[in-house]
Structure 1
């Protein structure tokens, strides 16, 4: 197996742009690069897992909790051969959302205040949360400059350097700190 380069992006307000599909510039984004301590061989299990990295960061533990709500995503993050990039919004970014990650304003418009009540409402909320999480998981690692990457939810992004700043498109999302 090949060593995995994991890029964990802590994003303030990125969650809002992904979930609501609006476009705006960000002011507080931090990126951390993580790579496994060693290549995993059949006789050892010392590789760094995405689930461990996300879960150990206090600034992204809310998002880490969301990922554990879905067995398929948990398996992906626990696999030592996953080639994905996680765009993990900070707890602060999640708190700044105009609604909770499992809420969709259009569902309140069509279904009313009880949109997430009862079994059907709970299922709807769980599906929305799964879409929110999938929107933050990119099917590529390492993610090269200019390369289009598709999230698990199907949206495509790329990043490039402009005026010395790393920018994720669409949305002109500025990456301020590595």
Structure 2
């Protein structure tokens, strides 16, 4: 039996970055070796800017990426993974925003992802209805994790440390690593 390969985790925040206390910040404090994108302008809706930020950080990765994107960062993660499936183990899309909200209909299509995906969605997310989350999960062929009435899965919705999300991430990472070793 061959050893389980490593997977590099990369945090991809959405617009306005992740505020203090956000689960992405808490996870990065807990795991400072995880990569995290940096942006000059977190307020500008700029898909290619996010893609470039992922490109920059990816150069530091010793192994395939598991992109952990929130909101707009989930959309950027999805696009990057589809462009670079050979560098991507998988994507965890947490409360992805509706692509049409940002005019990304030509960039984000209802076709299967090039890599495995996990979409975590809420029934009360103001940026993506649960019906649309189900649609996107099905068309992208992602596992859908329904977390009930959880808002946008951010600090405002009560998500700080978010141990359930971290556990779900690690189970997903273990599945991806097992797939890479096959």
The answer, yes or no, to whether TM exceeds 0.5 is no
TM-score w.r.t. the length of structure 2 is 0.27
Q: Which has the higher contact order (CA 8 A, sep 6+)?
A: 1
When normalised by structure 1's length, the TM-score is 0.27
Bigger helix share: 2
Bigger radius of gyration, 1 or 2?
1
